[in-house]
Amino acid sequence: MIALESTAAARSAFDALAEGGVVEMPFEKTFWSEGFGQVTDRFGIRWMVSAPMQ
């Protein structure tokens, strides 16, 4: 799990991790965050990426 300081930073990290990987849950707004997504990177490591609620 990685929580970043802005939605833009979280989106950028998510997109970078998704290159060559598998998106499990697209990065999008949720009821708890301005942006959240789950991805397995190209090395097989699973990530949850979160942005703070505005």
* Distance separating alpha carbons of residues 49 and 20, to the nearest angstrom: 17
Supply the pLDDT for residue 53. 87
Q: Can you list the domains of the chain with their CATH numbers? A: 2-50 (3.10.180.10)
CA distances from 23 to 9, 26, 33, 47 (A): 18, 6, 18, 10
In 1-54, the DSSP E strands lie at 2-3, 22-28, 36-40, 46-50
pLDDT single digits (tens) 1-54: 999 999 999 999 999 999 999 999 999 999 999 999 999 999 999 999 999 987
Supply the pLDDT for residue 21. 98
